[in-house]
Structure 1
Amino acid sequence: MVLSSFISSITARLTAYRNYRRTLQALSALDDRELSDLGIYRGRIDEIARGAAR
């Protein structure tokens, strides 16, 4: 039981980290005008990526 819970926890954390990195990279690749069209300021990219990882 404990081992499967531990493995599930690690799997969930890795998935969240991958989602964070993928979102961060995608948003960082956009220029300021594209971000503006989405209503996003460059300074909020990390915050948005962290939200996507939850």
Structure 2
Amino acid sequence: MTFANYTRATETGLGLEISAALHHLMQRFSDYRIYRATLNELQKLDDRSLADLGLHRSGLRSAALEAVYGIQN
């Protein structure tokens, strides 16, 4: 009995590095857009709504950073 194997060469070298860099850049841009949208939504809330969420206007940037990137500032 005969078996036919098909092996596809994986992409290596410069093409893979460019692809990874492009993917990283697109991910960062997407995260930044989500951060800006989150910050804009929080800024639209009145002080009472922010207080209900346990937030103050001075901490909106930190809250948006934590929500999108998971980092505390």
Alignment TM-score, normalising by the size of structure 2: 0.69
Q: 1: distance between equivalents of 2:46 and 2:36?
A: 18
Alignment check: 8 A CA contact 1:19 1:52 kept: no
- Aligned pairs, number: 54
**4+ residue segments displaced more than 3 Å:** none
Structure 1 unmatched runs, 5+ = none
Give the match for residue 25 of structure 1: 40
Higher-RCO chain (CA-CA 8 Å, sequence separation at least 6): 1
Answer yes or no: is 1:51 the counterpart of 2:66: yes
Alignment TM-score, normalising by the size of structure 1: 0.91
Identity %: 37
Q: 1: distance between equivalents of 2:30 and 2:68?
A: 8
Q: 2: distance between equivalents of 1:7 and 1:52?
A: 24
Q: CA RMSD in A?
A: 0.8
Report the structure number with the largest CA radius of gyration.
2
Structure 2 unmatched runs, 5+ = 1-15
Alignment check: 8 A CA contact 1:20 1:50 kept: yes
